[in-house]
Structure 1
Amino acid sequence: MILESGSNRLRATTVAIDDPGPLQRFLPLTGPSTAFIRKGEGIITIGEVERFETDYPDAADVWWDEVASYIDHDSELPGAYGTGPLAVGSFTFDPDASEERSVLIVPKVIIGRRAGQFWMTKLTGGRMDYELPDVGEAIVPPTGVTLDDGPVPPAEWGRIVAEVVGLIRADEVSKVVLARKVRARSETPFDARAILNRLLHRYPTTWAYMVDGLVGATPELLIRRQGGLATSRVLAGTISLDPDHTDPLARAADLARSHKDISEHEFAVESIARALEPFCSAMNVPESPSVLPLPNVLHLATDITGVTDPDTSALALAAALHPSAAVCGTPTFLAREVIGELESMDRGRYAGPIGWVDARGDGEWALALRGGQILRDDPREIHLFAGAGVVADSEPEAEIAETNAKLLPMLQALGLSD
């Protein structure tokens, strides 16, 4: 950690700044940096004061609580949501079945934008430098990108879906979310900033993220804690959308009437509501979902809200909610066993919590969906992931089509699709 001379405490300073423009333009080509942006608002970070690698979010929450207690914070925007020192993290889907480690990073520099406020926070060992960092180096898109089917070709993956449907119809499990992995290679190393930029442009209503080579744009907010209010956006039930050839309203009506998709969605809502309830003095769970439109798909969506225990941080809530039925299945332990036995891959940090928590316990944690992992030992390769919820009425061909639709944002970001 960076400590003040003669002290065992950290010093953070937050200052109001003029509109810095697009936050992502400050991301450097090399060195540690992260991003979490939606509709132009959010944060980017540069550098690391400390890094904690672990297996479980609840261990990271304990670590961050201790670190935060040693930070003295001077702020021109006291109490403003998302300002001040914070930790950014990304966690594995299943730490018991992954070679990846989860990570929580305390950044040196944070630049943020929210609700008409702009700020910069720095953790320093000396005098505060109030100048914004230099704009990052020019972004060079990847060249010569090629794609392969990954460890399980679509036809074989469809057979796995059929096997899982058989288990569900035999009442061995109720729902299983199966994922596919495909691989892309480039002649030059992938620049995560280039992928992030394209996703921000095409999918501005999603949460675009970049942490430790994991980059994507997810529509699913696992949990937000702001003061005493917690919000979780549950997405489950999907239909592909091609606005140039299909009527979006008709497709939305098809989705809203789909017994398969409604059943899948109800499992996900129930799992989040049940996990969140012990931390809330009051909750609101809508009786029926809405339809969330994205450029490539429509989702059934339910926003659950609750009044939370002030001593439970956003990261602790994320640990309690993960994995939900939206990314795992139900019952959780049975669905996870099926995934481990049949999926034939390591998800790593795909479908795990990704986001930030501040020193007050507020924060936002999304699920790392619609994304990919750039390989650390070979940055010319990126693994892309997409999943689909399998229930009793699932058909393999439809689930393959759903994963193809969910892969589209990353294929567009890599220049492999229009």
Structure 2
Amino acid sequence: MLHTKVPHIEEIIGDAIKKAQQQEKPQMVSVVERMDQMDPFQFLYAGQSIDRHRHFWRSAEGNFTMVGIGSARTMRSSGSYRFTELQQSWNTFLEGAVTYDEYGEKGTGIVALGGFSFDPEQKNHHPWESFPASQLTIPAYLLTNKGSLSYLTSNFIIFPEDHQKQIIRNWGDQKEQLFMEKPYSSSVPVRVDEKEIEPEQWKQTVQQATEDIKRGVLEKVVLARELRITFDNTVEIEPVLKALSETQQNSYIFAFESEGEYFVGATPERLAKLENQQLISTCLAGTIPRGDTEEEDKRLGMELMYDPKNRQEHQFVVEMIKEAVEACSHHVEVPDAPVLYPLRNLQHLYTPVKAVLDEGFTLIDVIERLHPTPALGGLPQKKSVEYIRYHETLNRGWYAGPVGWLDDRNNGEFAVAIRSALIQGDEASLFAGCGVVEDSDPQAEYEETAVKLKPMLSVLGGY
């Protein structure tokens, strides 16, 4: 793949058409422009006039946001080899692509955003019919905000029969629409009804899991439940994302639109970040609420730090992530003990894992090795996923799966899609789970999931 300086757009499109005609196949062209900072929520809202296939990503580090509009190319895969197949599709797509870019910033140029379902073998597709098992999209237009600057990437698929003037005219018209200031709603949706999906059956499943763990069937399993809520009108995504960005500042904020439905969330859990071969993963397991006072907050934090169940659960995750990272990296660094990671509603045990990725491996390779961690599946990995598939009362879909982005320089970041909701018109399904070990109490685990539902409830008409 070639990176080069940016000539006039007429020359770029003209050269691409000639190349497409000579090679008798479509050509990928990516053009990056720098501009004054653009409001990402305004850009997202304006983008619906072009395409309702939109993506939003804000890093937990706070100064990096991407908004994708439309699709220059969408790659999908399912089954046991979905990570490998998507990596192959990505590699093939980049062959022969040309990027005109004077800046070389991460997250600009050819970037794919998307995610993976938790379990591709799940047979019951409801309510996730609009979201395939795996999907990565290269947007037609990508806004990348980094610090005080914005970058617009325009991606073109040029066919041999295309006409230069028509492409340039359409591009100019669509850019005008994207940068047109259109007021969007600032009101989060009004909730009119809610229904917990089989809460008593869920508690019984937790109880059964503790007995199965004592019998040696598995060591740990994470069980999730669903809360279904209804609103007085169709949910607009922009105010929801803005509210999440303002209230969950230490979390990754994401939204993926597919066929008019949204998967949206604010997750604190990074799965893996790769930049210049520097790899960072995160062990985030063990949960307790925040206190109402500074004294109570400190007491709860210490309770979490020295709680045997939570420390055991956290250590499961640390050991698994360390083993997975060591399989494709060197210079692996893991702290001896976790620290507290505070969020608005919760605090967690946190251990970072840092390494240098070996040559020949990619971010998708890392994600495949890490997913699902014991914090989202259990131990042993394969047995816990099979247990969830058979016993859990819901189809997780993309909940607890990897979501994120990667670019053509082998940079990218994926998080674990917890603290999330599937929004379908005037309804939404919210999901939350907890780790079950042999001494877990069903009622206590139920109450823990209720706390984990609060970040999404707070921006979806709740409290």
TM-score band, normalised by the shorter chain? Answer: over 0.9
Shift of 1:353: 0.6
Partner of 1:415: 461
Q: Structure 2: how far apart are the matches of 1:245 and 1:19?
A: 37
**Of 307, 321, 326, which aligns to 2:356?**
307
Q: CA deviation at 1:332?
A: 0.7
Is residue 49 of structure 1 aligned with residue 72 of structure 2? yes
- TM-score normalised to the size of structure 2? 0.84
> How many equivalent residue pairs?
408
Is 2:134 the counterpart of 1:134?
no
2:91 is the alignment partner of 1:65:
yes
Q: Out of 284, 290, 295, which is 2:333 matched to?
A: 284
Q: Distance in 2 between matches of 1:91 and 1:295?
A: 27
- The answer to whether the 8 A contact 1:223-1:230 is kept is yes
1:12 and 2:20 correspond: no
**1:27 alignment partner in structure 2:** 44
Encode CA deviations 1:170-203: one digit per residue, 9 max, x unaligned: 2221110110111011231122222212111110
Q: Secondary structure at the match of 1:17?
A: strand
Match of 2:396 in 1: 347
- Whole-angstrom CA distance in 2 between matches of 1:163 and 1:245: 38
Q: Distance in 1 between matches of 2:388 and 2:364?
A: 25
Counterparts of 2:182 and 2:387 in 1: how far apart (Å)?
44
Name which of structure 1's ranges 67-76 and 196-205 shifts more when overlaid on structure 2. 67-76
- The 8 Å contact of residues 191 and 461 in structure 2, kept in 1 or not, is answered as no
Q: Post-superposition shift, 1:307?
A: 0.4
User: CA RMSD for the aligned pairs?
Assistant: 1.9
Alignment of 1:175-214 (within 5 A): 175-212=220-257, 213-214=262-263
Q: Which runs of 5+ in 1 are unaligned?
A: none
Which residue of 74, 81, 106 corresponds with 2:138? Answer: 106
Whether the 8 Å contact between 2:251 and 2:268 is mirrored in structure 1 is yes
- Unaligned 5+ segments in structure 2 are 1-12, 21-25, 159-166
Larger radius of gyration: 2
Aligned with 1:334: secondary structure? Answer: helix
CA distance in 2, matches of 1:325, 1:92: 16
CA 1:404–1:144 in structure 2 vs 1: closer, same or farther (change >3 Å)? closer
Choose the corresponding residue for 2:452, options 397, 406, 410.
406
Spell out, residue by residue over 1:108-138, the C-alpha distance to the aligned partner (whole angstroms, 9 max, x if none): 1111122454311111354475766334551
Residue 168 (structure 2) pairs with residue 145 (structure 1): no
- Which shows bigger deviation, 258-267 or 277-286? 277-286
CA distance in 2, matches of 1:133, 1:343: 45
Superposition pairs of residues 295-374 of structure 1, within 5 angstroms: 295-374=344-423
**CA deviations over 1:261-309 (Å, ceiling 9, x no partner):** 0000011111111112111022111111111000111100111011002
Question: SS at 1:413's partner residue?
Answer: coil
8 Å contact from structure 1 (residues 28, 135) kept in 2: no
| Equivalent in the alignment of 2:108 | 83
171-180 or 63-72, larger mean C-alpha shift = 63-72
CA deviations over 1:235-280 (Å, ceiling 9, x no partner): 1100112425961111110000000000000111111111121110
User: 3-state DSSP class of the match of 2:435?
Assistant: strand
Percent identity, aligned pairs only, is 29
Q: Work out the CA distance in 2 between the residues paired with 1:326 and 1:44.
A: 29
For 1:307 and 1:115, the matched residues in 2 are separated by 26
Match of 1:157 in 2: 202
